[in-house]
Structure 1
Amino acid sequence: MRKTWITLKTKVRNRLDFIRYGQRIGYINVITIAIDLTILAYSVIDYRTLINTDNLFLFLFLVFTTLVWQTICFIRNFYAYTHKTAYYNLHDICRREMPVIADEVKEIYTADPIDFTDTTLIYSDTVNRLLQSEKPIHTLLCGDKEKRTFKYIKNYRNILLPFLNGKWHEMKNKNGSFYNEQKLCMASEFGQSGNDLYVKVCRGCYYNSYLTNVIYTKKLSHQSGWGMTPPANISNYPIRRLEKSIMSDHIGISTLALTTDGHVIILHQNEKALTSADRLTPSGSGSVDFRDFRAGADFRETLKAAAERELREETALPPCRIGHTEVIGFYRDLGRGGKPEFCCLTRLNAPLFEIAELEPNCEEQRDDFETFHILGETGKLDGKDFGRFSDMVLNRSPRSEEDRPALALYMCYIMLCRYLGKEITGHS
C-alpha cells in the first residue's frame, strides 16, 4: 500500500511540475486559459441575458468566438507540450569528443584531469585545502546567472523542449520521479576580497539544469533518422568559469557515512533513479536544494545541511544517529557542462550493529545495501575491508554490470583517500 501511494504521489507531482514549467517558459499559459474558460462557461450558461442586450450582441459574439479559438489553441499547445514527441533515445557524444576548457578555467583547476566513464573531471588541491580549512567562506546570493540561464532556455525553448519531453516520458514510464525542485546553484568560483573568502550562489531549478548541464553531451534522435544537439553543447561551448557560464550549475553533494567502528555505508540505486540508475552510490548523494541554503552562514554549513538531508532521505537514518559532517573535496564534471560537485564525510553516532536494519528509500534505492570496514582503530584507511572496497570503487573486479560505481562514489573515494593521506593506485 505504501509503494502504491508513493507511485501515485510521484505521478501527480511529475505532471504538475512539468505543466508549471511549461507555463513558466511561456509555452503554455495555464492562468490565461483558466480565466478564458471561466468567461466562456459564464457566456454559455447565461447566454439568454447576453442576447437580450442588443447593443452588446456583436461585441459579445466576437468575445465568445475569440475565447473558443484561444481554448482550441491552448489545447493544441498543451497536447504538443505533454504528448510524447517523435524524438527518442538520448545518445552520449562525449565518447567521441572531449570538452574544451577555457584558459581562465585551467588557471584555477591545476590538478591533472581525472577520466571516468563517459566524462572527465577537473579539481584543484588549492580549493580542497580551502574547504578543509577553518577560514569562513561568505555566501553572496545574486540573480544575474539565473536570469542568464533562463534567457538562454527561453530563447531556444523549441529546440530544448524535446529533450525535456523525452526525459519526462521516460521517467513516467518507469514510475520514477522527475521533479522540478528549487536548487541552489554556484554563480562564481571561490574568490577573495581583502582577507575574506566568498562564493556567489543563485536560485535555480532542476529542469533548468537538465536543459543545460545534463544534456551538454547529449544528442537526441528522431524517428525519421536524424538527430539534434542542444545549442550549447560539447562541440561548440567550452567549459567556462562559473560566473560566466550559461549552464545552470546546480550544486551536487555526496557523502560517505562512517560508523563509530569504521564501517562505511554503500547504497545501490534502482532502475527508477534519475541519474546513476543501477549503480553503487555513496551513503547520501544528490544536490543542494534551495531550502538548504543558510543565509549569512559559512558556505560549508549549507553544504553540510544538504549532505545530511540527502543521507537521511536515502537511508532513513534518524537525525540523532548523525554526528557531524566535513566537506573534503570539490570538483567540476566536464561531462555535465562543468557542473560543481562537493564530497563530504559524515561521522555517525552509532556502531554498525545499531544501523543494521536500515530501510533505504524505495523511490530510488534498492532494498539491499553494503557496508565495508575501511577505517582502523588509528583513524587511517587500513580497515580489513578497505582493499575490497577499493577494488569495487576502482572497478577492478566487477561482479556484474550493476556492481559498477557511480561517479559520486568514485570521487568520494578519491577525495577521502586524499583527505586522510592514503596513496591511491590503479586510477586514472
Structure 2
Amino acid sequence: MSNLKNYTSVVLYYLRYNKVETLIFILSTLALFYSILDYIISINKDGQKWIKIIITGAIFVTNFINWIYKSHKNKTNGYVITNIPIDYKKTIPETNYKIEGYKTNNGINYITYSDILNQELIECNNRTIKIKIDNDKKKSIHEFIKKNFKHLFLFIKSYCAESLTTNRNIYNESKLCLSKDIKMNDSVYCYKNSYYDSIVTNMTVNKQLTKSNNREIIFKHPENAYLENNKIKSITCTKLNNHIGVSTIAITKDNYIFLWIQNDKSMSSIGLIAPSGSGSCDWKDFIADDFIKTIKNAMKRELIEESMHKRNNNKIESKTLITGFFRWLDKGGKPEFVGITKLNIYITNLRANINEVMEPNMHIKKTSLNNNFGTLQEFETLLKDLLNNKAVSVPLHYNINTILSTIKTNPTLIENFINHQFEIESK
C-alpha cells in the first residue's frame, strides 16, 4: 500500500505541472471507460451485466495502478545523478552568521548559524510571533519548476526508483516553508507548499544530471541558486522551497535521554544517531498566528511519531524549549530549528517506530534530578560525551551545541527546564 501511495504521489505531481496532459488523460480515460461499459451493456444477454461491469472496472483499476508502477519503477536510462563539489570553507556567510562543518561517518556536512538569532529565539519561547502567509516565493518556485520540469522530474523518478529497494516513503505531503529570513522583532513569513518541490530545489541544488555515456551535463541548478560570488544568499533571495526542519532532544519523567538511529528509509543521516524527534514541519502542524507554537507542535509530533505507538499529541503532556536555528548548506541552506523537550512519561513507554528509526540500545541516564548545579553539570557532561561519537548526525550535533551554549549563558533556564515537574502524569 505504501508503494502505491508513493507511485500515486509521483503521478499526481507530474500531472500538477502538466495541466494540459492531465485534462487529456482524464477525458481519454472517461471516454475509454464509457465505450467499454457501453459495449458490455449492449451485448449483455445472459443476465450477468453487473458481473461484467465489476470485472471491467477491476481490470481498468488494475491497469491504471500497473501504469503508475511501470512509469516510475525504473530510472530513466541514459543519465546519472552526480554531486557537485563545493568548498564551503571558502564561502562567505551572511552578516552575524558563522559557518561550521560537522564530520560524521557519512562525511562532512556544513551549516551556517547565528548566535544572535539563537539568543533571540530562546528569549521568544514564551512570546507570540505571528505568521504571515506570503505566496510570492511560492509562485516564483512554481515558475522555475515548470520551466525546468522535464529535467527536474527525473530527480523525482530517481528517488521513487530508489524507494522501491529501500521501502522508503516519499509522500508528497504539504509542508510549512520559510519565505523570508527570520527576524524575531517582526512576523515570520511562510507559505504552504509540497515536499516534492523541496526535493527538486533544496535536495538537488548540489547535484547535476549527466549523460551516462560521456558525462555531458544535462541539467544543473543555476550557479546563483543559493551562492552568489561565493557568498551565501539569504532565504529571502533564493528560489528554493526551504521547507522547515525540526529536531528535539527529549528527557523522560525518569530522567532518561533517548536517541534513535536513522534507518535506511530516511532521506538523510542514514545510520547516524538522531535526536529523539527529527523531521520537518507539516502544514498540519500550523497554528494560526503563532510561529513559536507551530514549531514546538511540529517537534512534539515528530517526537511522538518516532518514539511511541500513540499518535495523539494532546494526550502526551510535554514542555518544549526552542534552543536554536541553522541553515543546512548541503541542502541549499534549508532552515532547521532545534530544541529540547521534557516528557511526562517514563522510558518504558517509548518504542522506536521501525518505519522511521531504529532502536540503538543506548538509553542514557543521568544520575539524579536534584535542584542544584551538580545535576546540571552531569547533564552537561553527558551531552559533551555524545559529541565525541562520530555517528552523531548533523541535527543532533548542532542541537547539543545549542543546549551547551545556553547552559553557559543561562544555566538557570536549562536547570529549571530539565527539573520541570508536571502536575498530572500522562496516561
CA distance in 2, matches of 1:416, 1:14: 37
**Taking structure 1 as reference, are residues 346 and 46 closer, same or farther at Cα in structure 2, changes over 3 Å only?**
closer
Structure 1, residues 365-400: CA drift from partner, whole Å, max 9, x if none? 11344322358633664227x6465344343xx5xx
Counterpart of 1:417 in structure 2 is: 404
Provide closer, same or farther for how the CA distance between residues 383 and 201 of structure 1 changes in structure 2, counting only shifts above 3 A.
Answer: same
Q: Does the 8 Å CA contact 1:97/1:234 hold for their aligned counterparts?
A: no
Question: Among 276, 280, 284, which residue is 2:269 paired with?
Answer: 276
Distance 2:406 2:122 in 1: 9
**8 A contact 2:98–2:112 mirrored in 1:** yes
Letter in structure 1 aligned against 2:339: C
The answer to whether the Cα contact below 8 Å between 1:27 and 1:77 also exists between their aligned partners in 2 is no
Q: Which stretches in structure 1 are left out of the alignment for 5+ residues?
A: 1-8, 48-74, 399-403, 424-428
Q: Which residue of 2 aligns with 1:294?
A: 287
Q: Any idea what the Cα deviations from partners look like across 1:241-288, whole Å, max 9, x if unmatched? A: 222210000000000001245421110111222221111100000000
The equivalent of 2:99 in structure 1 is: 113
- Counterpart amino acid of 1:328? T
State whether residues 308 and 352 of structure 2, in contact with CA within 8 Å, keep that contact through their aligned partners in structure 1: yes
Distance 1:28 1:394, change over 3 A: farther
| Structure 1 residue 335 corresponds to structure 2 residue 330 | yes
Aligned to 2:122: 132
Is the 8 Å Cα contact of residues 247 and 338 (structure 2) preserved in structure 1? Answer: yes
Residue 177 in structure 1 maps to residue 172 in structure 2: no
CA distance in 2, matches of 1:99, 1:106: 14
Does the 8 Å contact 2:72/2:161 carry over to 1? no
CA distance in 1, matches of 2:377, 2:255: 10
Indicate whether 1:92 and 2:80 are aligned. no
Shift in Å, 1:93: 2.9
Alignment match, 1:154: 146
**What residue is the counterpart of 2:387 in the other structure?**
393
Counterpart in the other structure of 1:58: none
**Cα–Cα, structure 1 residues 267 and 161, in superposed 2: closer, same or farther, change >3 Å?**
same
| CA distance in structure 1 between the partners assigned to 2:69 and 2:9 by the alignment | 14
Q: Is the contact between residue 140 and residue 198 of structure 1 (CA under 8 Å) also seen in structure 2?
A: yes
1:266 aligns with 2:252: no
Pick which of 27-36 and 183-192 moved more.
Answer: 27-36
Residue identity matched to 2:101: D
Residue 392 of structure 2 aligns with an amino acid whose one-letter code is P
Tell me if the contact between 2:250 and 2:343 (Cα under 8 Å) persists in the aligned partners: yes
TM-score normalised by structure 2 residue count: 0.77
Q: CA deviation at 1:322?
A: 3.7
Going from structure 1 to structure 2, the CA distance change for 1:177 and 1:282 (only over 3 Å counts) comes to same
Q: Report if aligned partners of 2:134, 2:190 keep a CA contact under 8 Å in 1.
A: yes
Structure 2 counterpart of 1:311, from 292, 303, 313: 303
Q: In structure 1, how many angstroms separate the alpha carbons of the residues matched to 2:267 and 2:94?
A: 31
1:167 aligns with 2:159: yes
- The alpha carbon displacement at 1:363 in A equals 0.9
Matched, 1:36 2:28: yes
Partner amino acid for 1:171?
S
Q: Which runs of 5+ in 2 are unaligned?
A: 40-65, 411-427
Deviation of 1:305 (Å): 0.3
Counterpart Cα distance in 2 of 1:246 and 1:256: 31
> In structure 2, what is the Cα distance between the partners aligned to 1:381 and 1:295?
35
**2:15 is the counterpart of 1:19:** no
C-alpha RMSD over aligned residues: 3.3
Give identity over the alignment, percent.
26
Shift of 1:341: 0.4
Q: 2:112 maps to what in 1?
A: 122
Distance 1:139-1:42 versus aligned 2 partners, 3 A rule: closer
Aligned length: 371
Equivalent AA in structure 1 for residue 146 of structure 2: K
- CA distance in 1 between counterparts of 2:225 and 2:215 reads 17
Change (3 A) 1:180 1:76: closer
Partner of 2:187: 198
Q: Is the 8 A contact 1:322 1:346 kept in 2?
A: no
1:323 and 1:349 in contact (8 A); partners too: yes
Distance 1:288 1:224 in 2: 40
* Conserved 8 A contact 1:328-1:416: yes
CA distance in 1, matches of 2:236, 2:79: 33
Tell me how far 1:303 sits from its aligned partner.
0.2
- Please say which of residues 237-246 and 76-85 is displaced more in the overlay: 76-85
Per mean C-alpha deviation after superposition, the further-off stretch among 207-216 and 357-366 is 357-366
Query: Is the 2:11–2:68 contact (alpha carbons within 8 Å) kept by the matching residues of 1?
Result: no
Secondary structure (helix, strand or coil) at the match of 1:33 reads helix
In structure 1, how many angstroms separate the alpha carbons of the residues matched to 2:69 and 2:171? 19
Matched residues in 1 for 2:112 and 2:249: separation? Answer: 21
Q: Distance in 2 between matches of 1:176 and 1:363?
A: 9
